[in-house]
């Protein structure tokens, strides 16, 4: 058995001696990429056999390949003449060896390295330094915790090697240490060059509710909201955004506490000092819309002086949800000064007051009682809106649509339909125009005693059937109830099933209370009277010439 092994080792030795020196296992060889497929990459190494490298070794963390066909690369010889006759190479192991050399040297010299942040893991981030996996603890990832802790994922960062062991394949790095050293160097140089009163250019790095931080070239200064503009600023984000380049004035320095206070408005004189002399209430001014908010539009009437047109002062008639429906940033507008308050730096303006109030004009032209015709614009659950003018809509409440009961306005009205209505009330201050349709006709309950006295017969249609009786619409807005006891000569437990909505019925008026809008009807009594009349008519026909009087017939009918 020993002899066989010795023979095999000898043959392997002969084979290795027969190979060129540059193909020895562990040697580094250079070649040209000739073919790349999903599994293998073939390399021309100037030998009778091609070199073979797993394609996966060239794949970056984002999935792209580090090489393309035609590239010259170096690789480590792993095995000569595999079963397929090709030379097995490794690009990854060569990069790993070189990376470890660089990592260990960087740890020794304290020099930073470039690392690619692959993904977040427990306690920090997995990073790669030229193919070698390393760990970046979260506590060493930032100087200050950002709003998005994963913002560095997928990017390259400079790191310092804290600890490294190739044997355990463990590398721990710190980005914070690098950032700290860089910041300290910038701060030192900047503070040496800064003086109070200097004007500098910087970049907005962070925006807070009360101010912004500005990078002056290595160190940040703070620009308070009160020093941002002579105009009142609700939020710094209304004027600035991160990344903006702005000119600032150094207001104060504190090298020990590393604080720099900046100002922008101090670059120009305060324009509000002369506002009280320039503008009076009722004046007309022209300006440019500079910003929009949900509550109004800010208009610059002169550099540094902005007036507010409240959303309620943009239009007399339109229901505006946002000022952008009327004006846009950059628009030139004319407005009326409503109030001047230099002490509080406020200038109130009105866009709508440039023109007469159409509501006041309407109130003069359409006093209550005026009858108009107008198309229906909108049908809602609670009424309808009609277009009285191009600017003003009138409203007819569901209770003013008909004297009768309406389940929904759409039962009788459609959009686009032209209706006649009467003006009930105009309130220019509240911008309301109330109209009515039912008021064009008399209230049926007021004329009911004359038209339908107790004892009279009425004809109507069933509008509703309940267990206790049947409701009958005698005319629009006038409804009577036939109680279950007044339906027929025989006792009925419930009229449900005996009547249908829309069915025509005749009944006697047995009680009328107009002030309470109540009318009691009786089908039973109507039928009794009808039968009595029919009986009398028949009896009268049969007894003609007999000398029997009408009074006798009535007594006879009553007795029956």
pLDDT value at residue 184: 84
Say whether 476 sits in a helix, a strand or coil: coil
For 292-317, write each residue's pLDDT tens digit. Answer: 999 999 999 998 899 999 999 998 87
Mean pLDDT value of segment 34-52: 90
CA–CA distance, 400 with 437 (Å, rounded to integer): 6
Q: Across all residues in the chain, what is the average pLDDT?
A: 87
Check whether 521 has a pLDDT greater than 70: yes
- What pLDDT, in 10s, does the model give residues 329-341? 999 999 999 999 9
Task: Give the confidence band of 477 by pLDDT, cuts at 50, 70, 90.
Answer: confident
pLDDT in tens, 398-428: 989 988 888 899 989 999 999 999 999 999 8
Residue 520 falls within a domain, yes or no? yes
Structural domain count of the chain: 5
CA distances, 548 to each of 430, 540, 553, 557 (Å): 77, 9, 8, 13
Going by C-alpha positions, the residue among 26, 169, 13 that lies closest to residue 87 is 26
For residue 449, being part of any structural domain is answered with: no
158 with 223, same domain: the answer is: no
Strands (E), 180-233: 199-208, 211-215, 220-224
At residue 214, the pLDDT reads 95
Residues 128 and 147 reside in one and the same domain: yes
* Cβ proximity of 372 and 408 under 8 Å: no
Flag whether 421 is in a domain: yes
> Is residue 419 located within the same domain as residue 476?
no
Q: Which of 410, 154, 333 is nearest to 323 (CA)?
A: 333
61 in a domain, yes or no?
Answer: no
Do 370 and 435 fall within a single domain? yes
Residue 7 covered by a domain: no
pLDDT reading at 21 higher than 70: no
- Is residue 254 pLDDT above 60, yes or no? yes
> Which of 129, 146, 180 marks a domain boundary?
180
End-of-domain residue from the set 267, 295, 312 = 267
**Taking a C-beta distance cutoff of 8 angstroms, is the pair 400, 435 a contact?**
yes
CATH number at residue 262: 2.40.50.140
- Provide the pLDDT for residue 288: 94
**Is 188 part of a structural domain of the chain?**
no
Residues 379 and 327 in one domain: no
Given a cut of 60, whether residue 560 has pLDDT beyond it is: no
pLDDT in tens, 141-183: 999 888 898 999 999 999 999 999 988 989 999 999 999 998 8
pLDDT in tens, 348-357: 999 999 988 8
Residue 244 and residue 313 in one domain = no
Task: Identify the pLDDT of residue 4.
Answer: 40
If one compares 521 and 15, the residue with the highest pLDDT of the two is: 521
Check pLDDT > 90 for residue 270: no
Query: What residues contact 537, with CB distance under 8 A and at least 6 apart?
Result: none
Shared domain for 261 and 310, answered yes or no, is no
Is residue 423 assigned to a domain? yes
Of the residues 354, 379, 408, which one is the last residue of a structural domain?
354
* Assigned domain for 63 exists: no
Q: How many CB atoms lie within 10 A of CB 6?
A: 10
Share of the chain above pLDDT 70, in %: 91
Looking at the fold, whether 225 and 298 belong to one and the same domain comes out as no
> Pairing between strand 305-310 and 296-302?
antiparallel
Which residue segment(s) compose the domain that 325 sits in?
280-354
- The Cα 126–Cα 144 span in angstroms is 19
Is residue 468 scored above 80 in pLDDT? yes
190-204 pLDDT, tens per residue? 888 888 999 999 999
């Amino acid at each position: 058995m020993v002899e066989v092994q010795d023979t095999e080792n000898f043959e392997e030795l002969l084979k290795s001696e027969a190979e060129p020196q540059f193909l020895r296992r562990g040697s580094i060889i250079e070649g040209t990429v000739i073919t790349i497929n999903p599994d293998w990459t073939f390399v021309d190494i100037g030998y009778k056999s091609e070199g073979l490298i797993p394609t996966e070794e060239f794949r970056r963390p984002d999935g792209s390949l580090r090489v393309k066909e035609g590239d010259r690369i170096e690789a480590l010889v792993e095995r000569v003449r595999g079963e397929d006759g090709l030379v097995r190479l490794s690009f990854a192991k060569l990069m790993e060896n070189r990376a470890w050399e660089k990592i260990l040297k960087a740890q020794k010299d304290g020099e930073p390295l470039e690392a690619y942040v692959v993904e977040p893991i427990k306690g920090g981030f997995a990073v790669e330094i030229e193919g070698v996996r390393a760990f970046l603890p979260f506590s060493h990832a930032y100087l200050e915790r950002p709003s998005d802790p994963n913002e560095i994922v997928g990017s390259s960062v400079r790191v310092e090697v804290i600890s490294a062991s190739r044997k355990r394949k463990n590398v721990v790095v710190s980005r914070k240490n690098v950032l700290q050293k860089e910041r300290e160097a910038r701060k030192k140089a900047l503070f040496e060059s800064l003086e109070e009163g200097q004007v500098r250019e910087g970049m907005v790095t962070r925006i807070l509710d009360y101010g912004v931080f500005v990078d002056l070239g290595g160190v940040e200064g703070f620009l308070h909201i009160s020093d941002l503009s002579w105009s009142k600023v609700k939020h710094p984000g209304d004027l600035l955004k991160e990344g903006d380049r702005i000119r600032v004035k150094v207001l104060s320095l504190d090298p020990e506490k590393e604080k720099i206070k900046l100002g922008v408005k101090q670059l120009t004189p305060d324009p509000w000092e002369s506002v009280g002399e320039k503008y009076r209430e009722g004046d007309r001014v022209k300006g440019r819309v500079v910003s929009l908010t949900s509550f109004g539009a800010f208009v610059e009437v002169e550099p540094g002086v902005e007036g507010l047109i409240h959303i309620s002062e943009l239009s007399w008639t339109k229901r505006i949800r946002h000022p952008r429906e009327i004006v846009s940033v950059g628009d030139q507008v004319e407005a009326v000064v409503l109030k001047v308050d230099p002490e509080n730096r406020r200038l109130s303006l009105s866009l709508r007051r440039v023109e007469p109030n159409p509501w006041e004009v309407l109130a003069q032209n359409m006093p209550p009682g005026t009858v108009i015709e107008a198309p229906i614009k909108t049908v809602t659950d609670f009424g309808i809106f009609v277009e009285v003018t191009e600017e003003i809509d009138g409203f007819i409440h569901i209770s003013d649509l008909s004297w009768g009961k309406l389940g929904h306005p759409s039962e009788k009205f459609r959009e686009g339909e032209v209706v006649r209505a009467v003006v009930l009330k105009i309130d220019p201050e509240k911008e309301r125009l109330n109209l009515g349709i039912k008021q064009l006709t008399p209230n049926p309950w007021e004329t009911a005693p004359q038209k339908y006295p107790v004892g009279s017969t009425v004809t109507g249609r069933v509008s509703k059937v309940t267990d206790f009786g049947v409701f009958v619409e005698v005319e629009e807005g006038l409804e009577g109830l036939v109680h279950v006891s007044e339906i027929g000569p025989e006792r009925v437990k419930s009229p449900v099933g005996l009547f249908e909505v829309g069915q025509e019925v005749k009944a006697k008026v047995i009680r009328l209370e107009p002030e309470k809008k109540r009318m009691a009807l009786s089908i039973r009594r109507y039928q009794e009277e009808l039968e009595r009349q029919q009986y009398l008519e028949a009896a009268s026909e049969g007894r003609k010439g007999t000398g029997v009087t009408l009074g006798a017939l009535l007594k006879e009918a009553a007795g029956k």
